[in-house]
Amino acid sequence: MNEKKFVCGNEIIAGWKSMTSWNWFATEVFEIRRVDDETGCSVINGKPVNDIIYYGLFLGPIEEWSYFSGRDLEVDQGGKIE
């Protein structure tokens, strides 16, 4: 994302769009997970991976603020917004 964008007064730091037009807008980094240190990791498709857990707005069949995995969205949705 080249220019700053905001949702409900919060700066969007990353965003994803699915093929079904659902959207995730990250407004903060909640946790960074690494395979090789004490932070642990996420397990996606049965494999341990480095990950970033974000907090932000999900717009789909419902609208809600929640936590979500950046790596999971990249693997399953593949539509990171630049």
**Model pTM score:** 0.81
69: in domain: yes
Of residues 75 and 42, which shows the higher confidence score? 42
Q: What's the helix, strand, coil split of the chain in %, to 5?
A: 10, 50, 40
Count how many domains the chain has: 1
37: in domain: yes
Predicted pLDDT of residue 82 = 57
Q: Which residue has the tokens 């419902």?
A: 62
pLDDT tens readout for residues 35-52: 988 777 888 788 888 999
- Give the separation between CA 33 and CA 49, rounded to whole angstroms: 8
**How far from 26 is each of 8, 38, 74, CA to CA, in Å?**
12, 24, 13
Residue 75 clears pLDDT 60, i.e. is over it:
yes
43: in domain: yes
39: in domain: yes
1: in domain: no
- Give the separation between CA 1 and CA 62, rounded to whole angstroms: 24
> 51 lies in which domain range?
6-81
38: in domain: yes
